[in-house]
Copies of this chain bind each other. A is one copy, B any other.
Amino acid sequence: MLLTHARLALNAVVLAVTDGAPRVLTVTPDPDDLALSDPRTCCALPLGPLSDEHATLELNLRHLVFQQAGIHLGYAEQLYTFGDRLRDPRERDGAPRLVSIAYLTLGREDALAASRSGRWTNVYDLFPWEDHRDGPPPILRDHLLPHLHTWAEQDPARRDARAQRLDIAFGRRDTPWDEERVLERYELLYEACLVPERLADLRAAANPAANPIPEPLHGGVAMILDHRRILATALGRLRAKIKYRPVVFELLPERFTLLHLQRTVEALAGAPLHKQNFRRLVERGGLVEGTGELDSQTGGRPAELFVFRTEVLRERPDPGVGLPLARRRDP
């Protein structure tokens, strides 16, 4: 029952929403972890070792993020443990297996200033196909989907299975777009060689000749190892979670306008919401409480400032914000 040859790491996905964009805390990769990627265009999630000093994994993680980026985390939940072999290409050369326990954590906007060595990266720079707030992004229709369809046709044996996965993940045919399926979409893009880190993995593969060399690689920001997959897992989880747990409020200042709240949810969900219905949902759901104070910085009629009603946690089992979707951005 003893496993001696594993490297065990804690991994943090720290998310915030600033200026209407979801942002993730990234750090400069440890040269050790860079593997075969280019250090200039590559970023990494904060990570570090388990230490016996800390009684729980979560405390360990908080300490680690504070050390690396000077940030005191708010909400934190365990996300997933990534332990499959060859996540790190160096394992091919006999390096011990890497097992990463990843956490999803949220911070307030103002934590941005506190960051030391970390940087905040716009999540949609890393996942440009996930932002549907102004309708499906052009890159999806013009670039990714055509390539995905080509890829699906490529292998006659798996054609049907691939086509069906595409339908489900990207909302083709009778399936609606489901903003939660971030990981499924990432995995398809990875398999189709449309994300840059796939190139590194292929280069590191034992016999590069066996796999056709990828042609239509989508440029953009790269992340080390499987960190973009970890982030995809986190985004999908968070998009699901806001619907049934009041976690959005972890991302907002104590007092906020309803539009501020809406914009934050939209930034995470990557979808536009129907304004009036959104208000009704959060107000009637007992999630917020008016303070009577007004914010006149709105550019229009001043908006009332609200606070989160903590009591709702006692009253309802699943007090999420829900997503009253709008077809397009509300006029």
Between A and B, 28 residue pairs with Cβ closer than 8 Å are: A1-B9, A1-B47, A1-B49, A2-B7, A2-B49, A3-B8, A4-B4, A5-B52, A8-B8, A8-B99, A50-B83, A50-B97, A54-B85, A55-B84, A55-B86, A56-B84, A56-B85, A57-B81, A57-B84, A78-B80, A81-B81, A83-B101, A168-B313, A173-B314, A174-B315, A175-B314, A176-B317, A178-B317
The residue that A314 contacts in the complex, of B49, B78, B168, with Cβ under 8 A, is B168
Complex interface: chain B residues within 8 A of A130 (CB)? none
The interface bits of chain A over 290-331 (1 if a CB of B lies within 8 angstroms of the residue's CB, else 0) are 000000000000000000000001110100000000000000
Residue of B nearest to A82 (CB): B57
Whether A85 lies near B52 (C-beta < 8 A) is: yes
Q: Which residues of B contact A81 (CB under 8 A)?
A: 57, 78, 81, 101
Q: Mark A2-37, 1 if CB is under 8 A from B, else 0.
A: 111111110000000000000000000010110000
If A6-B8, A7-B3 touch, does A175 touch B315 (CB 8 Å cutoff)?
yes
The yes or no answer to A167 lying at the interface (CB within 8 A) is yes
| A180 in contact (CB, < 8 A) | yes
Contacts A81-B81, A83-B101; is A3 near B314 (CB within 8 Å)? no
Size category of the binding interface on chain A = 35 or more
Instruction: Give the CA-CA distance A81 to B99 in the complex, in Å.
Output: 11
How far, in angstroms, from A214 to B228 measured CA to CA in the complex?
A: 48
Q: CA of A30 to CA of B2 in the docked complex: distance in angstroms?
A: 14
Given contacts A6-B8, A55-B84, 4 further A-B contacts (CB under 8 A): A57-B84, A81-B81, A167-B314, A168-B314
